[in-house]
Amino acid sequence: MPVPWETLIPFGLVTVMFGATGTLLNTSKRLQNQGKPVRHGIDPWDEMMMERDRRLTGHNRGQSTEPFAPKEFATNSAWYTERVA
């Protein structure tokens, strides 16, 4: 049975397009996370630590090596923005 060679061109195009879009999506997500892989299965503890990291460094994935927090860390809590009923 002969091989239908004319089907290889569309098959190759579809394969290349899926590969290119997957690679671009992965690259985009890694660039948004400062080169680190995407987080999965985030629980409340992880959310709390990500919020702390965001307040300390300005980015969810940023981490600081300083032993003490900056002065602004004491007053930039989310609790100050909530309205007390």
pTM of the model: 0.61
What are the tens digits of pLDDT across the range 61-70?
A: 888 788 887 7
Tokens standing for residue 69: 């927090």
Distance CA(65)–CA(47), nearest Å, equals 20
For the chain, the straight-line distance linking the first and the last C-alpha, in angstroms and rounded, comes to: 79
Predicted confidence (pLDDT) at residue 3 exceeds the cutoff of 90? no
What are the tens digits of pLDDT across the range 26-43?
A: 999 999 888 888 889 999
- 85: pLDDT confidence band, cut at 50, 70 and 90? low
Give the start-to-end residue ranges of the domains of the chain.
Answer: 10-36+43-81
Predicted confidence (pLDDT) at residue 13 exceeds the cutoff of 90? yes
Tokens standing for residue 4: 């239908």
